[in-house]
Structure 1
Amino acid sequence: MKNKFAALSLLTVGLLSACSSTAPTAASPAAQERFARVALVPLEAGDTPQSLAQAVGGEVLGWNDAGCASEDEANCTAMIGMNQQLSAQNLNALGGRMVYIEPNKDMFSGGGTMTATMGGRINMWAGGRINMWAGGRINMWAGGQFSQLPENTALWKKIKLEEAQRIAPKLGAGVTVAVIDTGLDLQHPAFGGSLSDPSTWYDFYAGDATPQDEGVFGVGGYGHGTNVAGIVLQVAPGAKIMPLRVLGSDGSGDVVMVARAILWAADRGANVINLSLGSKENSKVVQNAIKKVTERRVLVVSSAGNSNLSKITYPAADAGGEDSGDYSMSVGSVDLNDVKSSFSNYSDKLKLMAPGENVYAPAPDGGMAAWSGTSMAAPMASGGLALALGQRLSSGELVERMSGNAADIYKISANKPYKDKLGEKGRLDLVKFLSSSGDD
């Protein structure tokens, strides 16, 4: 979608394609109208939320005046939701300020596809299959088999999970991974004891404190977030999951929701933020939020998209750039033969690949299902980062060490058309990553 407001640059208010204004604050979100557009407006002396809302003709969704006294333009901004274009009256009221406007509603999508389900619900977790999540250490591996979900054994052997969990015996304990997604099946036995304190949860889509995965099984995005969170916990079973819902049952959500959730997660103690979602359009509002949290050394992992295109979705496309430095990572998908998945996007900006096909994890209503997508590859990297952080390693160089110590997949003939577009080195290798991380 092209920005329809470019004409404003000919008037007294300019539309900035590269605005540096800050994203909204994360305080006190609530249910709200889903606006068509979102604007970032520089604050001036005498502004109030009421006066600025009237001047723009919208609703103030975020107010960041922390930098106004020091003339820090990046931290002196209001975020305003709006459904109409700025009129001449609005332009006069704003007095020539440079305003950034972008589309808001349904600009983000979770992606991925459910590829298999398994019968049974709660009873399938009886007899010990859930034990890997209970305390994080019980019988995860037996005779070379991933005993709790044997369907994933080949996947985990590919990234050397068994040895990695021996190298990182704390298994991510003390680390919180925020899963910003469709929510979770909060009552699923797999998550018992593995969720963050309920005071840190939020449903930005519905505007309440219960980020429950909602929908019809097998339709749309229902179960997407439950699967993603379950993948994180299989890699780092000692970690805690912070569930934050920004996507509806169809798998889509708004710019404002994603930005608010990112800030909320950092404010409430997340060490890693998993974004198994993306947009075709670059959102400055979301990128500003990522910049703010990575400045606080929070790690952000984003999926690359599932359209088999030679460009990756945002915010993955900005990962590792000047705004997020060494604290953000983009992840694409390969199959078990280390060949690029037919659906995975690719780009010379892509940092890492991981297995993203037929990954089994918890599903709503106490079940289990397999999903395929770059959405499933990203939480493998998030879980790997949690393993490293659980060993009290500094977050500062982990992204570069993970991408720089990946397994070389470029020598595979099927990958030759994608030279230098399947990650810095290739596919996630947890043992090489964790071994290198000890050499400070």
Structure 2
Amino acid sequence: MDPLLLQELDIHLPSKTAEVCYQKSIDSLHDADFMVNHNLFSIQAICLLIYIGHNIGQSDRISVLLASAVRIAQCLCLHRLGPDPRKNTDTVEQSPRAVQQRLIDREISKRVWWFLVRQDWLQIPFNNTYNIHPTQFNTSMPKNCKEELSLMFSSDDVIDRDQEHYTQGSYTMVLNHVAVLIWKTQDRMCQQGHPDAVEGGLHKLYAEVIQSDRELRELMDKMPTFFRNASRDDDLPAHVRYQREVLSLSFAHKFYSIHRHFQIPSFKDPWFAYTKVSCLPIMRRSLATIISLPEEPYTSIVKSLWTVNTQVLTTVVWLLFELIFSRGTGTQLLDATEIRDLAIKSSNFLQQNQIMSRIAKRGFSLINTLLELDKSVERGDDTEFNLKEIISRVEKNDQDSREESGGLPSAELNGNSFVNWLSRDAAILGFTMDIFDSA
């Protein structure tokens, strides 16, 4: 929320309040013995905890809670709701209100299940694995319906509106289809096998990447008009503009997700040059827009999202890699001054958010470290790109700041090493870690 609105509610330390509520929610789940007493409310609680858990550095706990939520949902058969019936086929006589409530409950269950699907499949680039397999559920995607009862129903069925009709579910409707694409990409690449096992294996994997890149662009072109341009802004709620910008940044991150294995090779091998051509321009545009948002009430919401902080960090780090690794090769796509300017503005963006987000705090330190490295390279210093040293420096800055504030050391709060956080939560190094020494 806007800090001024929070102050009116006598909330002056929102991040601390959020952590207290987060911990009380965890305690309540355990008090209810949620792993034995299964119900929809436990799943919904876990879904909500995601937004705080990643920000305070508890990604390991969140991933385990999500896996529990998936299993609970399966025990409740949320994954086997089947396709939507064409009309009310219940032979038992029911009142109109009872019919409506049954359909509402069905839509709620569909939304919860697809939230879990979306979280699972959009995490594939972080973990290179997933828990939910599409052959093992048949619950259809939620309908694009209004929330108000008077606008939700037509006779005895929920109105599934055209995608050009904005609803509360419009944003997640787009991400549902993106999540499916990310899963398909992972499966196709796994079917190819290890690149060393077949002749031309690396190039075959890259062909799958190019195919997925093409499909992602098709999804962008098919998005609702209000997520592609501002022509209808006057007819829509104010927050749709912010959803559009966040969605643009999310798509930039998904292009990275698809091309991530070929990020470093694209700096050195012309065969993989399309990775830079595809990813860098949309990263530059979406990043410039997000970090330049005016200071308005909805901006506070955008800045507090763990996904936005992660995606800002991911995009700016790739832009800095382009600056560092392509210098002197004659293949640099973007202007060096523009990249540095975006990196500095992104660093300031994350610095403003570091009270709320551990990702932002570490990202701020990481960006500044890479900017210093770039200056050394530009001066012609005999500088080696030492990944372990960079990680150690960022981790030390994080620990020092926690000790100064009297907070928990990062290892205690996060429950895993900083290397794991950097490769999974920030999704920026992963596969490439073994390539840096030769780079």
- Between Structure 1 and Structure 2, which shows a larger proportion of strand residues? 1
TM range (shorter): under 0.3
User: Larger C-alpha radius of gyration, 1 or 2?
Assistant: 2
User: Normalised by the size of structure 2, how large is the TM-score?
Assistant: 0.25
